[in-house]
Chains A and B, each alone.
Chain A
Amino acid sequence: MSQANVHSNGQLPPQPERATLEGRNKITGFWLFLGGETVLFGTLFGAYFTLRNQTLNGPTPQELFELPLIALATLILLTSSLFSVFAVQAMHRNDLGKTRMWLGLTVLLGLSFLALEIYEFVHYVSLGHKFHSSAFGSSFYALVGFHGAHVAFGIGWLTLIFLQLKRKGLTTVTAPKVYLASLYWHYVDVIWVFIFSLVYLLGKVAG
Chain B
Amino acid sequence: MDQTNGQTAQNKIKRAPVHEGPRNHLITFALSLLLTFLAFMAAANQSLSTGFVIFLLVAMAFSQAIMQLAYWMHLKDKGHFYPRLFLTIGGIVAFLCFIAAIYWMWW
* Contact yes or no, B94 A42, CB < 8 A: yes
Q: Assuming A82-B29, A201-B40, A202-B57, is B86 touching A4 (CB within 8 A)?
A: no
A109 to B71 CA separation, bound complex (whole angstroms): 21
CB distance from A88 to the nearest CB of B (A): 9
Q: Please, how many angstroms separate the alpha-carbon atoms of A49 and B32 in the complex? A: 25
- In the complex, A156→B22 CA distance in Å? 26
Q: Whole-angstrom distance from the CB of B85 to the nearest CB of chain A?
A: 8
Is A93 engaged at the interface, CB distance under 8 Å to the other chain?
yes
Whether A121 sits at the interface, judged by CB under 8 Å, is no
Q: Interface SS of chain A: helix, strand, loop or mixed?
A: helix
* Residue A183 lies at the interface, judged by CB distance under 8 Å to chain B: yes
Do A201 and B82 touch (CB < 8 A)? no
The number of residues on chain A lying at the interface, defined by a beta carbon within 8 Å of a beta carbon of chain B, is 58
Cβ 8 A contact of B43, one of A42, A46, A204: A204
Interface pair A197/B39, CB less than 8 Å apart: yes
Contact status A31-B5, CB under 8 Å: no
Which residues, 43 to 68 on B, are CB-close (under 8 Å) to A?
43-44, 50, 53-54, 57-58, 60-61, 64-65, 68
- Is A198 a contact of B89 with CB atoms below 8 Å? no
**B71 CB to closest chain A CB, in angstroms?**
9
Q: Which residue of B lies closest to A53 (CB)?
A: B106
Is there a chain B Cβ closer than 8 Å to A2's Cβ?
A: yes
CB pair A34–B86 under 8 Å, yes or no, is yes
Shortest Cβ distance from B59 into A: residue: A197
Q: Known interface pairs A2-B5, A50-B105, A201-B39. Does A15 touch B13 (Cβ–Cβ under 8 Å)?
A: yes
A38 touches B73 (CB 8 A): no
Q: A4-B10, A28-B83 are in contact. List 19 more A-B contacts (CB 8 A).
A: A2-B2, A2-B6, A4-B9, A35-B89, A38-B93, A39-B97, A51-B105, A78-B32, A78-B33, A78-B36, A186-B72, A189-B68, A197-B39, A197-B60, A197-B61, A201-B42, A202-B43, A205-B57, A206-B53
The 3 A-B pairs of least Cβ separation, nearest first, read: A42-B94, A2-B6, A46-B101
